[in-house]
Amino acid sequence: MIEAVRVTITAYTASFRVPHFVGYQLTLPVPPLSTIYGLISAAAGRWVLPQELEWLGYRCEYESKAVDTEAILTVERPEPSNSARFVTRNVLLREFLVMPRLTLYLPPEWESPFHCPRYSLLLGRTQDVATVEGVKRVHLRQVSGGKVSGVLLPFELVAKGNVSAWLQNLPVAFTDEPLRQPMRTEIFGIVDAHLPGEVRDASGWLVMDEENGIIVPIFRKEWVLHGTT
């Protein structure tokens, strides 16, 4: 049994842009791991890198998807001493999630930052302002399989269980340098909250919330940093 704190975060909208997709800006139905580390950092008021967390797990639900238009203003400044100059204005279609709910599981010592987050919590962009709906201590039980939805699965679990998922290469985490660089990227299977899948033979990867029966993969520090379990 694993002691954990369950943090429930809600918002009106969320948008997790699909990397390298230009033009029509699609959203992922589940945030990348790197977004979760950013969320924890905002709550703590400082950079929180994977080295500090022994493990984490999460699930993202939403009511529906919608599309809006967004104006993108391009400016340029050839030299740091120059004033920024307007160049072009483009209007793009942007997809977003409506009424998202993120259920985040963390070790108990990470409970305090979410009672009074230092900075604004965002589920994507600056307009996707979120709030902490609840924080509660729970117990997680390790399971070898079960139905999952609204989660990211490592590719090895997708291939092993023949789970229907959207494959995407995503950053696991970023460095804390001014020009941030991805620490590592990994192929994930994204299981949409509205398209659940059955995972089998995933011993060591899955945990179940004893209170509500939610099953999520648990991402341990060793795997996040080095890809080893």
Helices (H), 103-217: 155-161
Query: pLDDT class for 229, splitting at 50, 70, 90?
Result: low
With a cut of 90, say whether residue 106 has pLDDT above it: yes
Kindly report, residue by residue over 170-216, the tens digit of the pLDDT: 999 988 888 888 888 999 999 999 999 999 888 889 999 999 999 99
What are the residue boundaries of the structural domains of the chain, listed by start? 2-74+87-226
33 pLDDT band, cuts 50/70/90, is very high
Percent of the chain exceeding pLDDT 70 equals 100
pLDDT of residue 159: 83
- Contact, 51 vs 221, CB < 8 A? yes
d(CA 7, CA 43): 11
Q: Model-level pTM?
A: 0.91
Contact 4, 138 (CB under 8 A): yes
20-29, 50-59, 146-155: least confidently modelled range? 20-29
Pick from 189, 192, 190, 205: nearest CA to 149: 192
Residue 21 has pLDDT above 80, yes or no: no
CATH (one of 3.30.70, 3.40.50, 3.10.450, 3.30.530) for 2-74+87-226:
3.30.70
